[in-house]
A = this chain, B = another copy of it.
Amino acid sequence: MSRTVGVFVGSLRQDSYNRRLALAMEKLAPDGLVFKHIRIDGLPLYNQDFDSNYPDSCRQLKQEVEACDALLFVTPEYNRSVPGVLKNAIDIASRPYGTNSFAGKPAGVIGCSIGAIGSALAQQHLRNTLAYLDVPTLGQPEVFIHMTDDLIAADGTIKEPSTRQFLQGYMDRYVAWLERFLS
């Protein structure tokens, strides 16, 4: 059966390392798991005054999230937390009050950075938010990739065999996690 995974990449940078990581995960996924990248760059800054008349771009984001079976968050760390640009998209899709578009969708949280901790602290903050949004997130393995330019190519090709093996292990656990909630 075909399942759609909504992918949130937390960086807007054109050559984002986290986008490379997202593409790498997609290559490791089984047939039938379709990855759809959800854009977060065209959104306004969330304002609660929107709630009475939600902007079109915000409604579209909510519809895209709601059309997905599962979620994958691939995020860098900005200032020891979630990038504001990603948190803004999450805030928008969680609102207006009572219409949280994420609720119940199983998710993974992974990321990379050029620093040794590989976005670990951002991921912890993100898990706090996702728990509140009733998004069950896979706990282990954790994916804190210390990225270098030659670890994963721009098209998502993993160049390092041990990294490929590790990420394949993550994907297998991730798929099993989704099946708990989607079967």
Contacts and interface: CB of A to CB of B under 8 A. Distances in A.
Interface string A64-94: 0000000000000011111111111111101
Nearest to A14: B49
A54 to B, nearest CB: 14
A170 to B, nearest CB: 24
A34 interface: no
A13 interface: yes
Interface stretch (A121-129, A140-148, A161-169, A175-183): A121-129
Chain B CB count within 10 A is highest, among A40, A45, A132, for A45
Interface string A110-154: 000000000001000100110111000000000000000000000
B129 A128 contact: no
A11 interface: yes
A12 B125 CA distance: 22
B80 A128 contact: yes
A8 to B, nearest CB: 12
Nearest to A132: B80
B79 A94 contact: yes
B48 A11 contact: yes
Contacts of A85: 45-47, 84, 88, 91
Nearest to A77: B132
Interface in A5-26: 11-14, 16
